[in-house]
Chain A
Amino acid sequence: MAEVTSTSAAYLALVRSRVSAQASYRTSFAIELASQVLLIVVEFAEVYVVFHQVRSLGGFDFAEVALLYGLSVSAFGLADLAVGHVDRLPFYLRTGSFDAFMLRPLSALGQLVTSDFALRRLGRVLTGVVVLVIAVVAAHVTMTPAHLLLLVTTPIAGAVIFGSVFIATATIGFHVTEGMEFANAFTYGGSYLSSFPFTVFGRVIRRLFTFLVPVAFVAYLPALAILDRRDPLGLPTWLSWCGLPVSLIAVAAAIALWRNGLRHYVGAGS
């Protein structure tokens, strides 16, 4: 008799089915992929235009800001690819599809995360990585093993941080019906902020997006170490290395918020 399949095999089957469902629409897939790339190019052109007027932004030159941008876009792209569609939760709740998740012997969050897997979002990741590589060369980053380690782990930690923000904000859907505008302020807003040197922001925004929604760890803080710079605002240097631990704390917080939201949904009070 065949072995009973495992939980991970169940999730793998779910993701694979999503991919094959999309593969049947090749043309629309190609168009959406291209539009994603175009979007990033336009977004990046905005940074270029700014630097046409000024030589530095918050004490960072064009190549250095491009590095921040590359780190931020790669991280956000990975998170969006993996869990970006969790913002569909309010729709699933409204149509009752969420109840179908509850009737299956798998975690509801696991099913939500694997309910879609839009390969077209690879466009953003690829563009981000290209920008990152060019920026590393243009900013004359010295290639020490430590810098290399940071360059590889930072987009991953950043993706985990953004993924946590996605999940945390989606849980608003458990509590209020129309809360996604508010949620987008954190996800897309956080992504936008993370690609700027934090020196350009006021104190409240800086604190909020360093310690509460930790997007400073996505690009700005690690980039300081990669560029061998001290934080002009005086944050300790070791914070640059805290991306991974911070991302784990973010995941734990996101899961706690999810559990709280689910408890509210089943009516256990909150």
Chain B
Amino acid sequence: MSKTVPVAEGVIDVQELRREFVVRRNAGRLRRTRDVVAAVDGVTFRVTAGECVGYIGANGAGKSTTIKMLTGILVPTGGTVRVCGLEPVRERTSLARRIGVVFGQRSQLWWDLPLRESFRLLGAIHRLPDSRWQPRLAECVELLEMGPVLDTPVRQLSLGQRMRGEVSAALLHSPELLVLDEPTIGLDLLSKERLRAFLVRERAERGTTILLTTHDLPDIERLCDRILVVDAGRVAFDGTLPGLVSRVGAQRVLVVELTEPGPALTGVPGTTVTAVEADGLRQHLSFRAEETTAAAVIAAVSARVELRDLMVREPDIEDVVRRLYLG
């Protein structure tokens, strides 16, 4: 079995992918209607080796359904899907040896075993000799600082510790493609950052292809060089994050609190005042990332008034996606 992917084929190749579900509903007292709903409705994209693609969209946009079709859990109703050159459902077990999958809210680990035992079992399940998975694990343990919790039963781990375990588990067999579904959901800032740094390194060192879904904009900024936005089962945008942000005109917002009430802070270069609260004690200044920086805006504002507190609010993904549809 060759590990190389033919040049003509992407790591993920999806053509006119479609998945329908039958929804039965009670209509009136005795009648039941049967509706066919397309969760994924003609999605086409290709991911080439080494790319890191963010697959984003609102809840119910069809992200999970797509991932299930990519990993062989769900068969498409229409269109074609090939991952690592394989047909996911028909060649599920072959594919499982070449991809790693992390579902943020479903565990791959054994809750009643120490973390270390879960890795040993996964090594056996992937039929890897010790010489192949142990060095890999040692590397993950060191980079993700899991040493102190290796002998702790999985049920006693914090979410952040468990997630680092999940990611290591998915990478134990050195997959060509890593699929992450909401990997940072519920994690604290430090855990998020540690995980992101690890994934950046994984990609740089091994050229692992990554597909991830997330609601977290910093995830995408740090990790992805390309994003696919899905909405109502279709690809609504395929490009870079700056491309998306400039297309929808998403804005960052500087919220400032002043020491005393004052007039609206109009006229700061590159900004517009979008809200004035409490007689001007708190003001919102929106600006576009490509026109000015937060530092420049803060400097300009603090030259005019005395600041008590401030915060920068990033456009969130939901907001960006919503704007994509309004615009």
Contacts and interface: CB of A to CB of B under 8 A. Distances in A.
Nearest to A106: B125
A17 B119 CA distance: 12
Interface string B110-138: 10110001001110111111110000000
A267 B75 contact: yes
A3 B73 contact: no
Contacts of B97: 105
Contacts of A10: 124-125, 127
A17 B113 CA distance: 8
Contacts of B107: 97, 100
Contacts of A105: 93-94, 96-97, 125-127
B92 interface: yes
Interface residues of B, number: 36
A27 interface: no
Interface string B14-51: 00000101000000000000000000000000000000
A17 B73 contact: no
Given A99-B106, A104-B96, A267-B75, A2 B124 contact: no
B129 A3 contact: yes
A107 B92 CA distance: 9
Contacts of B129: 1-5
A266 interface: yes
Interface string A29-59: 0000000000000000000000000000000
Contacts of A13: 120-121, 124-125
A104 B98 CA distance: 10
Nearest to A13: B124
A96 B68 CA distance: 12
A5 B103 contact: no
B101 interface: yes
B127 A103 contact: no
Contacts of A21: 110, 112-113
A7 interface: yes
A104 B126 CA distance: 8
A2 B110 contact: no
B71 interface: yes
A224 to B, nearest CB: 45
A139 interface: no
The 3 nearest A-B residue pairs measured at CB: A2-B129, A13-B124, A105-B96
Given A5-B129, A99-B68, 20 more contacts: A3-B129, A6-B127, A10-B124, A10-B125, A13-B120, A14-B121, A17-B117, A21-B113, A96-B105, A96-B106, A99-B73, A100-B108, A103-B96, A104-B122, A104-B126, A105-B97, A105-B126, A107-B93, A266-B74, A266-B89
